[in-house]
């Protein structure tokens, strides 16, 4: 039986990322694979190239930009980008109307002043160009596994501490509602072509449940500038059989927001 796109990306992600993140990112990859991105393509917040390593086949992405130089040191090794730029995406070193499309995977919520980032994205995009965004929203924390449980058993203060710690460790700066994100995107000048809730509450809970198991991989990040994951093929097969259904599921509800908009 031919693999679905969801399974294809999930298997690739299992080779490079902790289980919870593999579930989350392969859902985003599934959705991005459904649209054609006109070139040249800009990846805003490319990080250390993890998403591109799992997603990109064939011709590399034209440009990736990230504010952390240590991230790009590893991104170069992926060979998934033609050009890489160290810079603040709120003040990009590109001329007006440079790119045919932009994609950004769960990045804008990690940056303060997202209005500036959206307006800058609009500036560097060509007229008629497409932007594809996945965004965390304020619904994520409501659908995690542990924190609502802690509140239910009467340790709400610990639940609050967990949320604050999570935000600090993962640099979550701007968690908005879906409505607020849409308003900001429109205010930047974009015309919304599609908005969809993605990442089911089940996937969000699984991400939270397996977050503790991701720490060994995460500990290598300060040293290597990337996560270290080793899974033999049989482990990838087992995890795929157990969990790929959650990636393949078409969302009727979701904690995150997918937006496709045009300049």
Residue among 90, 61, 86 at smallest CA distance from 72: 86
Tell me the CB-side half-sphere exposure of residue 141, using CA atoms within 13 A. 18
pLDDT in the model for residue 168: 84
By CB atoms closer than 10 A (0-12, 13-18, 19+), residue 31 is: buried
In sequence order, the 6+-apart residues with CB closer than 8 A to the CB of 134 are 28, 31, 104, 105, 106, 198, 256, 257, 258
Task: Tell me the two tokens of residue 71.
Answer: 């991230």
pLDDT in the model for residue 258: 99
- What is the mean pLDDT of each successive set of 10 residues along the chain, which is 263 residues long? 87 95 97 97 96 94 95 92 98 98 96 96 99 96 89 88 83 93 99 98 96 79 75 97 97 97 99
Q: CA geometry: angle at 20 spanning 219 and 144, to 5°?
A: 105
Beginning with the edge strand found earlier in the chain, give each strand of the sheet holding 99-105 in spatial order.
81-86, 61-66, 41-44, 99-105, 125-136, 256-262, 191-198
- The 10 Å CB-count burial string (b at 16+, else e) for 11-24 is bbbbebbbbbbbbb
pLDDT in the model for residue 158: 86
- Secondary structure class of 248 (helix, strand, coil): helix
Residue among 100, 101, 104, 130 at smallest CA distance from 117: 104
pLDDT in the model for residue 169: 77
d(CA 142, CA 151): 11
Tell me the CB-side half-sphere exposure of residue 44, using CA atoms within 13 A. 31
Domain 5-262 has CATH 3.40.50.150: yes
pTM (2 decimals)?
0.94
d(CA 24, CA 13): 10
Tell me the CB-side half-sphere exposure of residue 126, using CA atoms within 13 A. 12
Residue 194 CB coordination number (10 Å)? 12
Give the containing element (helix H, strand E) for 84: strand 81-86
Residue 40 preceded by cis peptide, ω within 30: yes
Please report, for the chain, the start and end positions of each structural domain, with discontinuous segments joined by +: 5-262
């Amino acid at each position: 039986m031919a693999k679905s796109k969801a399974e294809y990306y999930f298997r690739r992600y299992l080779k490079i990322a902790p289980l919870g993140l593999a579930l989350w990112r392969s859902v985003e990859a599934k959705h991005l694979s459904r649209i054609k991105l006109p070139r040249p393509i800009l990846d805003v917040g490319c990080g250390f190239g993890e998403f591109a390593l799992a997603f990109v086949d064939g011709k590399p992405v034209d440009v990736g930009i990230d504010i952390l130089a240590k991230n790009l040191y590893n991104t170069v090794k992926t060979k998934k980008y033609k050009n890489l730029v160290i810079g603040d995406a709120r003040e990009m070193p590109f001329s007006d109307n440079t790119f045919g499309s932009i994609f950004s995977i769960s990045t804008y919520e990690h940056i303060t002043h997202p209005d500036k980032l959206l307006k800058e994205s609009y500036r560097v995009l060509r007229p008629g160009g497409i932007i594809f965004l996945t965004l965390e929203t304020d619904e994520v924390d409501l659908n995690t596994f542990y924190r609502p449980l802690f509140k239910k058993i009467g340790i709400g203060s610990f639940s609050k501490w967990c949320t604050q710690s999570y935000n600090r460790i993962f640099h979550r700066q701007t968690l908005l509602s879906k409505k607020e994100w849409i308003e900001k995107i429109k205010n930047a000048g974009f015309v919304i072509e599609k908005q969809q809730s993605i990442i089911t509450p089940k996937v969000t809970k699984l991400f939270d449940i397996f977050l503790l198991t991701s720490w060994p991989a995460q500990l290598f990040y300060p040293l290597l500038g990337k996560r270290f994951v080793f899974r033999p093929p049989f482990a990838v097969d087992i995890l795929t059989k157990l969990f790929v259904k959650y990636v393949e599921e078409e969302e009727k509800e979701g904690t995150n927001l997918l937006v496709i908009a045009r300049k």
